[in-house]
Amino acid sequence: MFNFSIPAVLKAYIDQIVRVGVTVSPNNVGLLIGKKATVILASGGDFSPGSPVEKYNQASGYLRQVLAWIGIKDVEFILAGRARAGAAGETAVEEFGTAVRSAAVGSSAVVRSAVAA
């Protein structure tokens, strides 16, 4: 996550993917029906459900909406929050990486915070 949303380069990539006749029909029906997506969303802060700043996570809603627009409605989000904790010395960078990998591999929840506060 970048300034509560997505980086401009990801937005530009999405603009190349959402195309009439490729991923969306001319009558605005998503063409990627039956597909699944897993989104790993890294952020410096903890935007997981129940955190004081959860409402500032605009990226998850936007990405869910775009994916649904092209037909992907089975979407799983892995919130890899507190990524800056490694740089701040609060947790080892390797520990953060391990937490994110294990969340990605063993995830079955819709939203999971990779690192506890």
* Per-residue pLDDT, 11: 95
Please measure the distance between the N-terminal and C-terminal CA atoms of the chain and give it in whole angstroms.
17
Check pLDDT > 80 for residue 24.
Answer: yes
* Per-residue pLDDT, 41: 84
Tokens, residue 20: 């009439």
* Per-residue pLDDT, 57: 87
Check pLDDT > 80 for residue 60.
Answer: yes
Mean pLDDT of the chain: 80
Strands (E), the chain: 36-42, 74-80, 111-113
How much is the CA Rg of the chain, to the nearest whole Å? 16
CATH for 95: 3.40.50.360
105 domain residue, yes or no: yes
- Residues 98-117: pLDDT tens digits? 666 666 666 544 344 443 43
Full strand arrangement of the beta sheet holding 74-80? 36-42, 74-80, 111-113
Check pLDDT > 60 for residue 26.
Answer: yes
2 domain residue, yes or no: no
Check pLDDT > 80 for residue 92.
Answer: no
1 domain residue, yes or no: no
Task: Return the half-sphere exposure (C-beta side, CA atoms, 13 A cut-off) of residue 68.
Answer: 8
CA distance 28 to 92: 46
Domain extent for 82: 8-113
Q: What is the mean pLDDT of residues 72-79?
A: 90
How many structural domains comprise the chain? 1
Contact 74, 38 (CB under 8 A): no
